[in-house]
């Protein structure tokens, strides 16, 4: 009994370590991209973009939608404007992040696909593509970044009510727990079973 308890604890600790290290690596990559974009904007005499958690939630949701699409010459930053993928479940993606169309209308969603999300190529896919026009606009003041597989999505926000990505607080609003909440609940359940 004692050795199975130690094995179970070891496996649980290994699982937690792997999950948390993967979350940290992704977060670091996304922080590095925001820093690179802000250096680019500074070189254009524009203000830096602040991190917007609600836009990051939507960026994660959008990246998940793209993850199974291959990187081609007609996806991501190479897509001809106006021919981007349309997702019929977009209202559900917004609702998952407690957003609605009225406070995201003036934002910009910019997906790109880079094999293995190589950091220098990712930054180039935003600063030396059709997306550079949006990055050069002073109306954008914030950004959220999410990634999944070879896809990374930047969502630009504004200070206006129609582009702020502020959490929707209409009637019946219920805050949804984050992924971290579910991870902690799972781990607590595992510990309870021991």
Residues 126/112, Cβ–Cβ less than 8 Å: yes
pLDDT of residue 85: 61
Query: Whole-model pTM above 0.85?
Result: no
Residue from 159, 138, 75, 70 nearest 111 by CA: 75
- Judged against a pLDDT cut of 90, whether residue 184 lies above it is answered with no
- Judged against a pLDDT cut of 60, whether residue 186 lies above it is answered with yes
pLDDT above 70 covers a percentage of the chain that reads 64
Q: Which residues of 94-109 are buried (b: 16+ CB within 10 A; e: fewer)?
A: beebbbeeebbebbbb
CATH architecture of 2-193: 3-Layer(aba) Sandwich (3.40)
What confidence tier does 25 reach under pLDDT thresholds 50, 70, 90?
very low
Domain boundaries, the chain: 2-193
Place of tokens 């309870």: 192
d(CA 183, CA 98): 20
d(CA 154, CA 141): 13
């Amino acid at each position: 009994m004692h050795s199975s308890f130690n094995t179970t604890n070891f496996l649980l600790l290994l699982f937690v370590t792997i999950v948390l290290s993967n979350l940290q690596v992704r977060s670091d990559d996304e922080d590095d991209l925001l820093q690179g974009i802000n250096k680019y904007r500074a070189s254009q005499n524009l203000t830096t973009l602040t991190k917007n958690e609600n836009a990051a939630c939507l960026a994660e949701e959008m990246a998940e939608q793209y993850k199974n699409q291959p990187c081609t010459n007609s996806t991501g930053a190479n897509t001809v404007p106006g021919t981007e993928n349309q997702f019929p479940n977009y209202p559900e993606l917004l609702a998952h992040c407690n957003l609605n169309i009225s406070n995201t209308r003036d934002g910009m969603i910019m997906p790109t696909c880079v094999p293995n999300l190589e950091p220098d190529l990712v930054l180039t896919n935003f600063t030396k593509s059709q997306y550079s026009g949006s990055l050069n606009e002073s109306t954008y003041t914030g950004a959220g970044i999410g990634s999944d597989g070879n896809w990374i999505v930047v969502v630009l926000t504004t200070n206006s009510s129609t582009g702020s990505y502020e959490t929707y607080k209409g009637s019946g609003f219920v805050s949804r727990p984050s992924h971290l909440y579910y991870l902690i609940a799972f781990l607590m359940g595992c510990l309870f079973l021991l």
